[in-house]
Amino acid sequence: MPKTIVIDPVTRLEGHLRAEVTVDTMNGENQVADAKIAGTLFRGIEQMLIGRDPWDAAQLTQRICGVCPVPHGVVAATALEKAAGSNIPDNARILRNLVMGANFMQSHILHFYQMSLLDFIKGPQMPPWQPQWKSDQRIKEADSIRLNKHYVTAIKAFRQVNEMTAIFSGRQPHAPALVPGGFTTVPTNEKIDLFRQYSQTVIDFVKNTYLPDVDFVASQFPEYNRIGKGYGNLIAFGAFDLNGSGGKSFFRGGRKMEGNGQTQPLNIDAVSEHVTSSWYENSTSKSHPVRSTTQPVYPKEGAYSWIKAPRYENQAFETGPLARMSINGFYNQGVSVHDRHKARALETLKLAEALPVWLDEINVGSPVYSSYSAPTEAASFAIAEAPRGALGHWIGITNSKIAHYQVLTPTCWNASPQDDDQQPGPMEKALLGTPVQDPDNPIEVLRVIHSFDPCLGCAVHMCRITQR
Ligand code: NFE
């Protein structure tokens, strides 16, 4: 007898996500037969930008999220610089890479220990970790206690990474140093030395704690090397410009189709946003972000999410650290729950080891900012990576004011609802076939969802209108 389970809100993630899954008996076991993933808050950040000074974009879009503000600031500033045809000094490029790399590391550590680990171990026997799931608690008591201690160590680790980011960004979260034209913090040898010390702390944490813990969990739950694959289609926009011309990036962009191991180039014009299953007006559905709008329509027949459904050539793609690492040839295993965790941990180490190299390229005493004036009329965009994957900002400027703004976030790719062709979103697809031991304790569903590291703060936004 099929049973429908609703988890709302899915906890331990940023923002509000609703999962509705139908569990049925298939192949002699309970499995997820249908899944609907929904964002339950209205996304309104684009509307807030309309009519504002273009300079505001790099600061206001950072408020989309406290976990990944840096990529939003960098992408908004880059779109504005492209709009004006202006370049930034090399120091600014390097400083942006440093604070963005540190922001990725913070996000990944937070994700594994605070968002995901408790799906696999017994949490502390105290609020807010009680009541707890009663299914599949196979990890030994002693191992659970050790991993719970690492939960606490990880809080210190990501606090340290935030401190490290703030050395250059001015504050974390929401970096004031990210401005069109470059950067505002002037690097000194003292700041560089301090940043380098923090990098070593992260390297030690990842090597001695994070990676071994990811491997330990994988060894205890080997079936999650197969569970949660989904489409197997991967997409990345690429990030961390290494030479100022955009010709060489630490992570190049690209896409990989399931079954074809080749990385293929991207054509950004092939991206569209479907909204038939989202509470938005349909007239621009399936449009490129430069044309799509964000007009809420609620209720709406057939819709079930505030998240739009981005597609590439009208096909669903997973994005995130696994996609980045795989597309760049840095990770060559499969696509599964554990592969997402492992690729994320390996990326943290890769970045922690890259940051000291980039630090050496800073030219103390050279400029960090070039004078910038926003154009009076322009259409522009920039793409990059946020910790959770492919991120794009599209901006239109009319009479010196923002007339159009669209933000395409990684969680919109991953947690998207069905598109206009009834194809489920990547997370929905990954849930199909997931075995669920006890439908009253569907912890397996959370393990799959959390492996994507969804952030609903990024994917949807609440617009609060106060009347006086
Ligand atoms: Ni709120 Fe974000 C990242 C962005 S997820 S964390 O990474 O953009 O959509």
Taking the centre of ligand 1 as the mean of its atom positions, its distance from the CA of residue 388, in whole angstroms, is 6
Q: Could you tell me if residue 1 is inside a domain?
A: no
Bridging pattern class, strands 318-319 and 234-236: parallel
Q: Could you read off the pLDDT of 236-292 as tens digits, one per residue?
A: 999 999 998 878 999 999 999 998 889 999 999 999 999 999 999 999 999 999 998
Per-residue model confidence (pLDDT) at position 14? 67
Contact in structure between 240 and 232 (CB atoms under 8 Å): no
Going from the Cα of 460 to the center of ligand 1, the distance in angstroms, rounded, reads 10
Q: What CA dihedral angle connects 388, 237, 428 and 305, to 10 degrees? A: 80
Q: Is 305 helix (H, G, I), strand (E, B) or coil?
A: strand
349 falls within a domain = yes
CA atoms within 13 A on the CB side of 277: 22
Arithmetic mean of pLDDT over the chain: 94
Let me know if residue 337 belongs to a domain: yes
Out of 114, 409, 460, give the residue to mutate to test ligand 1, the one with the largest number of ligand atoms within 8 Å of its CB: 409
Q: What is the pTM of this model?
A: 0.96
Q: Which atom of ligand 1 is nearest to the CA of 410?
A: 9
CB–CB of 186/368 below 8 Å? yes
152: in domain: yes
Alpha carbons within 13 A on the beta-carbon side of 107: 31
Neighbour-count burial for 120-139, b at 16+ CB within 10 Å, e otherwise: bbbbbeeeeeeeebeebeeb
Domain-located, residue 104 = yes
Which residue has a Cα nearest atom 8 of ligand 1? Answer: 409
- List the one residue out of 186, 195, 229, 202 whose CA is nearest residue 363: 186
Total domains in the chain come to 1
Question: Which atom, in ligand 1's list, is nearest to the CA of 454?
Answer: 5
* Structural domain contains residue 56: yes
Residue range of the domain that includes 209 = 42-174+184-459
CA of 459 to the centre of ligand 1 (A): 7
Tokens of 140: 């030994």
Q: Is 387 in the pocket of ligand 1 (CB under 6 A)?
A: yes
In this structure, are residues 271 and 393 in contact, taking their beta carbons and an 8 Å threshold? no
What's the CATH code of the domain at 163? Answer: 1.10.645.10
- Measured distance CA(455)–CA(462) in Å, rounded: 14
Q: Report the alpha-carbon distance of residue 279 to residue 299 in Å, rounded.
A: 7
458-467 pLDDT tens trace: 765 343 333 3
Within-domain flag for 148 = yes
Mean pLDDT by 10 residues, the chain (468 residues): 92 80 94 97 84 97 93 98 98 98 98 94 84 87 95 96 98 96 98 98 98 98 98 98 91 94 95 97 96 91 96 98 98 97 98 98 98 98 98 98 96 98 98 96 96 82 37
- Identify whether 397 is part of a domain: yes
